[in-house]
């Protein structure tokens, strides 16, 4: 979503861009909007099965199979993509380019395919090493902790190996930009995540529904699944002691069995994927972002604030966004504090509405996709023209 909106904004500002990427049929169809913005698309259609995609890449290039043992999981998946895209990349790089931007730090190995004369920038939507390190710190199972630490080490090693070839990094937050410069010495700009504030501004609360809490996110993403479990099992029971009518709706596709099982708990509804977010937010009295791990800035937080929903977040959920506790949202680090914050918003509707309006104003001013696109435009100009 971020890449789509940022590219559309850059195209509207006159940047000549060619996007090279693997794509599902649905995303290829969505590419028509980018073409209308003047962006050239060079894509390879992905098969429906990710397993088939990996098998075909390994058969075509046996070294891809060995790479599974020596690289981080995301980096290995990027190598699967590269196997199919290699002929297209060779063709594209035969032309003259002012610069190449690589999206995601786990795809940094693609830098080796770029001609030496072309400057390269790397977009960090997350610091993948930090993401896995945090996950290791919150995992209860020893094997999962070990695997997460291994992923963290491999991810950071891969960036370090290619850092000398990078002339610019683009991070989603100031904190991430500072970490990138400290660890790898790459000059960094900040381009935050964003949201469609005009679309979400029309969401109005369904006043007949009270006590409903909503958490949205792709549940196949481990930090979201972990957050859903913590919210349902640790926080909601504390909320219901003081507000027995409180319920929790978990919205997002790909839920693993342990998240699906939360639907058996009293007051918990595991909804799954929904066609549109607006009706879900309209039914929420309070939105929650109970993340304990993860990285980058959270689109779910920006969406809830843009829709004018009172929000409670953990420090991880709120990080990377220039918000202030008590002014734009409430921040709570542990289950008792999180539950108290939720109950306070449920019990004091005028204060909750005032908090939500300030959050909505902030997001409209700083995090609309048009503002984000302007920020990317400025960072690129500083890098390439400054």
Q: What is the pTM of this model?
A: 0.84
Q: Are strands 311-313 and 18-23 parallel, antiparallel or unpaired?
A: unpaired
Flag whether pLDDT at 70 surpasses 80. yes
pLDDT in the model for residue 207:
66
Mean pLDDT calculated for residue range 341-346 = 97
What's the pLDDT score for residue 247?
Answer: 96
Q: Return the C-alpha torsion angle 90, 94, 99, 102, nearest 10.
A: 0
> What are 165-185's pLDDT values in tens digits?
999 999 999 999 999 999 999
Give the mean model confidence (pLDDT) for residues 190-213: 86
pLDDT of amino acid 57: 86
Contacts of 319 (CB under 8 A, 6+ apart): 173, 175, 297
pLDDT at position 19 is 93
Are the CB atoms for 36 and 8 separated by under 8 Å? no
**Per-residue tokens: 179:** 């970490």
pLDDT reading at 280 higher than 80? yes
DSSP 26-92: HHHHHHHHHHHTT-EEEEEEPPS-HHHHHHHHHHH-THHHHHHHHS-HHHHHHHHHHHHHHHHHHHH
Phi-psi region of 35 (alpha: psi -120 to 50; beta: other; left: phi over 0): alpha
Give the model's confidence band at 296: pLDDT under 50 very low, under 70 low, under 90 confident, else very high: low
CB 359 within 8 A of CB 213: no
Percent of the residues in the chain that have a pLDDT greater than 90, as a whole number? 65
Give the pLDDT confidence score for residue 154 in this predicted structure.
Answer: 94
Q: What is the mean pLDDT of residues 139-157?
A: 90
Q: Which residues contact 27 (CB under 8 A, 6 or more apart)?
A: none
Q: Span 353-359, mean pLDDT?
A: 95
Confidence tier at 144 by pLDDT (50, 70, 90) = confident
* Helical residues (DSSP H) of 163-209, grouped into ranges: 174-184, 197-201
33 has a pLDDT exceeding 70: yes
- For 11-39, what is the mean pLDDT? 85
Nearest CA to 54 out of 31, 33, 23, 78 is that of 78
């Amino acid at each position: 979503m971020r890449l789509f909106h940022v590219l559309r904004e850059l195209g509207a500002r006159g940047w000549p861009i060619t996007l090279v990427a693997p794509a599902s049929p649905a995303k290829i169809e969505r590419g028509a909007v980018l073409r209308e913005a003047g962006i050239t698309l060079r894509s390879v259609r992905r098969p429906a099965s990710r397993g088939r995609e990996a098998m075909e890449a390994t058969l075509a290039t046996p070294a891809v199979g060995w790479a599974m043992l020596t690289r981080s999981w995301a980096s290995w998946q990027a190598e699967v993509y590269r196997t199919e895209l290699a002929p297209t990349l060779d063709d594209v790089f035969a032309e003259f380019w002012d610069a190449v931007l690589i999206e995601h730090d786990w795809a940094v190995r693609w830098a080796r395919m770029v001609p030496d004369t072309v400057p390269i920038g790397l977009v960090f939507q997350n610091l993948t090493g930090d993401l896995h390190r945090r996950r290791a710190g919150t995992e209860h199972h020893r094997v999962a902790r070990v695997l997460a630490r291994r992923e963290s080490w491999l991810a950071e090693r891969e960036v370090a190996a290619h850092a000398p070839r990078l002339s610019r990094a683009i991070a989603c937050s100031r904190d991430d930009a500072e970490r990138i410069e400290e660890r790898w010495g790459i000059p960094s700009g900040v381009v935050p995540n964003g949201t469609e504030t005009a679309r979400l501004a029309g969401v109005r609360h369904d006043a007949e529904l009270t006590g409903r809490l909503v958490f949205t996110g792709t549940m196949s993403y481990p930090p979201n699944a972990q957050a859903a479990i913590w919210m349902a099992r640790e926080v909601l029971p504390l909320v219901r002691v003081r507000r027995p009518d409180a319920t929790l709706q978990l919205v997002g596709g790909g839920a693993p069995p342990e998240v699906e099982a939360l639907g058996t708990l009293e007051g918990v509804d595991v909804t799954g994927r929904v066609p549109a977010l607006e009706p879900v937010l309209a039914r929420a009295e309070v939105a929650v972002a109970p993340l304990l791990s993860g990285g980058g800035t959270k689109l779910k937080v920006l969406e809830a604030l843009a829709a004018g929903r009172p929000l409670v977040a953990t420090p991880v959920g709120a990080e990377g966004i220039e918000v202030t506790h008590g002014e734009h949202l409430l921040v709570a680090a542990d289950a008792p504090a999180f539950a108290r914050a939720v109950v306070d918003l449920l019990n004091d509707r005028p204060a909750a509405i005032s908090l939500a309006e300030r959050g909505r104003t902030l997001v409209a001013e700083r995090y609309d996709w048009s503002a984000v696109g302007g920020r990317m435009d400025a960072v690129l100009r500083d890098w390439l023209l400054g």
